[in-house]
Amino acid sequence: MIKVEGITKSFKVAKRSTGLLQATKALFYREHTIVEALKDITFSIEPGEIVGYIGPNGAGKSTTIKIMSGILVPDGGKCSIMGFTPWKNRVEYVKNIGVVFGQRSQLWWDVPVIDSFELLKDIYYVPQQEYKSTLDLLIETLDLQDIINSPVRQLSLGQRMRCEIAASLIHNPQILFLDEPTIGLDAVSKIAVRQFIKAINQEKGVTVVLTTHDMNDIEALANRVILIGKGSLLYDGKLEELRKRFGTHKTITADYRKNSNSIDIPGTSIIHWSPEHAVLSIDTEQILTSDVITQLSKKVDLLDVTIESQPIEDIIVQLYKEFQI
């Protein structure tokens, strides 16, 4: 469905130091640096997949999305989405995709949301019947009933984002690109958005590519993650694999009867210790979790134990460090 092969893109950025002298100099002569935003990115995505596209700020996520949605022209490489080259057959191609840029707005600011939807209906030539049923579905699943008649300027960010997502689905696209769809949303709105993305993926088979910094989004939605950093592709595979490969740490929190003996167990490190409470970090490649608990129970009278896998956030931070991005 989506095939990206060896995409590269670089931007020319004007460089200027601070100070009045430098600023004056820049009037006549400007130094430019070439920033390589994308270096040889290759991946392919099958129909019906939800792919999480992750990476630190400035990694090139949005650039990739913009290239895939036909807004930017790459310097080199091939991209074929549903048989189209996005930047070449722009008008033909964009009928098939929906895009949400979390930091931008596509709704008309001064008019009720529904008016923007009506206009989009006409822009995409959606037949009235189809529009009606899609709209009903969107209103129901995204809970838009109460806000659809309010002008966009009166909506909260969460409400607006739900409308933005609905707006990009009016024409029933087969592919949905979401660039940070949950940015700035509260917990309730985030969950609503996630559930909705899952629902349209399962019910309509929409292929979803989403970029985000919220790893909970990825955990809730994506089976597959693509990690990029400094413009290069670093990892492409299942989230579980990622966890297995890098998430070898678990955290054990133990409460016990007052005991001032130390609880030093090989293969673990103590994060926090008090006579009644300890937090241990264990490396599952060196020692099994069950062994740790056995040893722990010999040393102290355990009252309560909780075992936590390493949060995906930490894994990502660790990954970023490992790849030096």
Partner 1 sequence: MKVYASVLKLRLLIGMQYRSAALAGVATQFFWGFISIMVFEAFYEHTSITPPISLKELITYIWLQQAFLAFIMLWFRDNELFDLITSGNIAYELCRPTDLYGFWYAKLLAQRLSSALLRCYPILLVAFFLPKPYNMTLPPNAITFILFIITLLLGLLLLVAISMFLYISVFITLSPMGSLLLFGVTGEFFAGLIIPIPLMPLWLQKIAYVLPFRWTADFPFRVYSGHIAQSDAIIGVFIQLGYLLGLLWLGKLALNNVLKRVVVQGG
Closest CA to 207 of 86, 123, 81: 81
Could you please report the per-residue DSSP string of 274-311? ETTEEEEEEETTTS-HHHHHHHHHHHS-EEEEEEEEPP
Helix (H) or strand (E) run with residue 177 in it: strand 175-179
Nearest distance from residue 103's CB to partner 1, in Å?
6
Nearest distance from residue 250's CB to partner 1, in Å?
34
Give the three-state DSSP class for 229.
strand
Binding to partner 1 (CB under 8 A): which residues in 60-99? Answer: 61-62, 66, 69-73, 90-92, 94-95, 97, 99
Q: Count Cβ atoms within 10 A of the Cβ of residue 226 and give its class: 0-12 exposed, 13-18 middle, 19 or more buried.
A: buried
Stretch touching partner 1 by CB under 8 A, among 105-113, 221-229, 241-249, 264-272 = 105-113
Asked whether position 11 contacts partner 1 by CB under 8 A, the answer is yes
Residues ≥6 apart with Cβ < 8 Å to 269: 280, 281, 282
Nearest distance from residue 71's CB to partner 1, in Å?
5
Asked whether position 34 contacts partner 1 by CB under 8 A, the answer is no
Asked whether position 101 contacts partner 1 by CB under 8 A, the answer is yes
Q: Count Cβ atoms within 10 A of the Cβ of residue 74 and give its class: 0-12 exposed, 13-18 middle, 19 or more buried.
A: buried
Asked whether position 104 contacts partner 1 by CB under 8 A, the answer is yes
Asked whether position 23 contacts partner 1 by CB under 8 A, the answer is no
Residue 261 backbone zone (phi > 0: left; psi -120 to 50: alpha; other: beta): beta
Residues ≥6 apart with Cβ < 8 Å to 126: 120, 134, 170, 171, 172
**How many residues touch partner 1 (CB under 8 A)?**
35
Asked whether position 106 contacts partner 1 by CB under 8 A, the answer is yes
Binding to partner 1 (CB under 8 A): which residues in 184-223? Answer: none
Task: Annotate each residue in 107-126 with x if it binds partner 1 (CB under 8 A) or - if it does not, as one string.
Answer: -xxxx---x--xx--xxxx-
**In angstroms, rounded to a whole number, what is the distance separating the alpha carbons of residues 321 and 325?**
6
Asked whether position 57 contacts partner 1 by CB under 8 A, the answer is yes
Asked whether position 179 contacts partner 1 by CB under 8 A, the answer is yes
- For residue 39, give both structure tokens: 């270096």
CB of 105 or CB of 284, closer to partner 1: 105
Rule CB under 8 A: which residues touch partner 1?
Answer: 11, 57, 61-62, 66, 69-73, 90-92, 94-95, 97, 99, 101, 103-106, 108-111, 115, 118-119, 122-125, 179-180
